[in-house]
Amino acid sequence: MEDCCKTACSVPMEIMRKAYAGIKIHERMGQIGTMIAISDVGCGVAFMKAALLSGSLNVIINVNTIKDQDFVKKTREEMNQLLADGTKIADATFNLVLSKLTK
């Protein structure tokens, strides 16, 4: 069962990594993108943030059942870092988009 829960953590962790990478792309597009597509950047970064948050919930429920504390610690640390950094960047990007749209 422990191995199954560890495997179950791998998919949402990968979703979180991909969502973070997507947030970074949207961050850059918010800075250099054209006004024609700026609302798309805002929508995209909101979706990436939702994926990041959703992934974290799935990781949390699985690590709560794992006894291997080294695995749990490593997984939680990466999850928390992705969540903190990704949320901060996503929120800043969304606010940048909003400010550009409401000029």
- The class (CATH top level) of 2-101 is mainly alpha
Count, residues in the chain: 103
Contact call for residues 14 and 50 (beta carbons, < 8 A): no
pTM here is 0.93
Q: Other C-beta atoms within 10 Å of 66: how many?
A: 18
Question: In the chain, where does DSSP find H-type helix?
Answer: 2-32, 38-63, 69-101
Contact call for residues 27 and 92 (beta carbons, < 8 A): yes
pLDDT tens across 51-69, in order? 999 999 999 999 999 999 9
Residue ranges of the domains in the chain? 2-101
pLDDT tens across 8-54, in order? 999 999 999 999 999 999 999 999 989 999 999 999 999 999 999 99
